Amino acid sequence: MFTSIPKDLRDTLGEKAAESLAKMLSDYGNYVEGSIINQSEYRFENALTQNSSSLRQEMAGMRSDLREEMAQMKSELRSEMGEIRSELHDEMTQMKSELRSEMGEIRSELHDEMTQMKSELRSEMGEIKNDLLTRIKTVESNLEVTIAKNNVSTIRWMFIFWVGQIGAVTSVLFVFFR
């Protein structure tokens, strides 16, 4: 990390002490670099854990909301059907022949509405599923980009360290052969 110690300091400390100081500073630089990398990894893992847990909670909330809506629709349909049945029963004594034809029409309408509601619910559930899959893929791609950036940063720091080490070795050899 440190290529050379100034001559004044080297003369004051002595050759062995200057080399020990350079080694100590280099070791400390390596320690700090490792500490920074470990802290970055820890923060990244925490962010990843928080994001995945929030996605799970959001998905669970969506599921429960869908179940509640479906249960509510089911109970509303049942109450509507009960009302229609009671109305039909009262009118049946007055207009038996007309009601039979109307009942057939109402049944077919209800069946069509229920079929339509089923298809709408299925399409909504498909859209929600696709939205969730898209979000998951986006989070995955963001994670891949972050990991790639961290790898590039690590390689850059390794290169800088190697260049410093080559400079230090070259300086020592230069001083040694002089």
pTM: 0.30
DSSP of the chain, one letter per residue?
Answer: ------HHHHHHH-HHHHHHHHHHHHHHHHHHHHHHHHHHHHHHHHHHHHHHHHHHHHHHHHHHHHHHHHHHHHHHHHHHHHHHHHHHHHHHTT-HHHHHHHHHHHHHHHHHHHHHHHHHHHHHHHHHHHHHHHHHHHHHHHHHHHHHHHHHHHHHHHHHHHHHHHHHHHHHHHHHH-
What does each of the 178 residues of the chain score in pLDDT, given as a tens digit?
555 788 888 888 888 888 888 888 888 989 999 999 999 999 989 998 998 888 888 888 888 888 898 899 999 998 988 888 888 777 777 777 776 788 888 999 999 999 999 999 999 999 999 999 999 999 999 999 999 999 999 999 999 999 999 999 999 998 888 7
